[in-house]
Amino acid sequence: MSDTTTVREVPAEIGTNGNGHLNGNSGGYSPRLDSKTPSGPIADKWEKHKFDMKLVNPANKRKFKVIVVGTGLAGASAAATLAELGYQVEAFTFHDSPRRAHSIAAQGGINAAKNYQNDGDSVYRLFYDTIKGGDFRARESNVYRLATNSTSIIDQCVAQGVPFAREYGGYLDNRSFGGAQVSRTFYARGQTGQQLLLGAYQTMMRQVNRGAVKLFTRREMLDVV
């Protein structure tokens, strides 16, 4: 996948100064992260990258096996989505049940640039607020992709049955959160993480019951062979 993060060892002649920063001393190493983001203008690179990728014939998808390590919010959603697309999926979790994942601890809500409040929100504004909120330390290309896909993520969560708070008219409610100047946070009272996790868990278990996902509990990954 293009957004997979690869960890490589720095050669021995490049050491660290004890604070995680590189120096010229020998005998040490520091992880060098490579997000493998595509090149090009930030607003177009991901769409162009997806267009240039080779498609998999639906009849051949069952020939591919995908291993998902972790069944929290991200892992369970990925396993369910890949199974729905037709791939063979094996999901591994350290816990006795995917419902024990730490994703349950999130409370505040989830941001998306849907602009339901008509207060000037946009993908670019969400992108900028996220970069600024992270003290300009985040990878801009990945954050822009996150902002672009945020609206689809909310739609997916609603389809999974996540009971987001709603207004009296039935529309999804929003609130301002984390210092943002617009109301873009979708929430489920004080248990947003729990509801999101349960929605992803139910979707994955439906694929487990179909036989499209094999779930392995109480397993710990030590290394990738």
Res 108 pLDDT > 60: yes
Task: Give the Cα separation of 194 and 104 in Å (integer).
Answer: 4
pLDDT-based confidence at residue 146 (cuts at 50, 70, 90): very high
Beta carbons of 162 and 199 less than 8 angstroms apart: yes
At residue 72, the 3 state secondary structure works out as coil
Query: Structure tokens of 118?
Result: 């008509």
Q: What is the pLDDT of residue 106?
A: 87
Within-domain flag for 122: yes
Within-domain flag for 47: no
Whichever domain contains 138, its CATH number is: 3.50.50.60
Are 30 and 73 found together in one domain? no
Q: What is the pLDDT of residue 11?
A: 46
Q: What is the pLDDT of residue 19?
A: 47
Average pLDDT rounded to a whole number, residues 38-60: 92
Beta carbons of 61 and 179 less than 8 angstroms apart: no
Are 76 and 159 found together in one domain? yes
Are 7 and 76 found together in one domain? no
Q: What is the pLDDT of residue 82?
A: 97
Are 11 and 67 found together in one domain? no
Res 1 pLDDT > 50: no
Beta carbons of 83 and 71 less than 8 angstroms apart: no
Beta carbons of 151 and 109 less than 8 angstroms apart: no
Number of domains in the chain: 2
Average pLDDT rounded to a whole number, residues 147-170: 94
Give residue 208's identity as a one-letter amino acid code: V
Within-domain flag for 222: no
Are 32 and 73 found together in one domain? no
Range of the domain at 140: 58-216
With 0-12 / 13-18 / 19 or more C-beta atoms within 10 angstroms meaning exposed / middle / buried, residue 60 is exposed
Within-domain flag for 169: yes
User: What residue ranges in the chain does DSSP mark as E strands?
Assistant: 6-9, 15-16, 22-23, 31-34, 65-69, 88-92, 110-111, 185-186, 213-216
Average pLDDT rounded to a whole number, residues 105-125: 91
Within-domain flag for 223: no
Task: Give the Cα separation of 82 and 65 in Å (integer).
Answer: 10
Task: Give the Cα separation of 196 and 34 in Å (integer).
Answer: 29
Are 106 and 2 found together in one domain? no
pLDDT tens-digit readout, 59-106? 999 999 999 999 999 999 999 999 999 999 999 999 999 999 999 988
Are 13 and 73 found together in one domain? no
Within-domain flag for 51: no
Are 63 and 17 found together in one domain? no
pLDDT tens-digit readout, 3-25? 444 444 444 444 444 444 444 44
Beta carbons of 166 and 127 less than 8 angstroms apart: no
Query: Structure tokens of 67?
Result: 């291993």
Mean pLDDT is highest, among 42-46, 87-91, 117-121, 135-139, for: 87-91
Mean per-residue pLDDT over the chain, rounded: 86
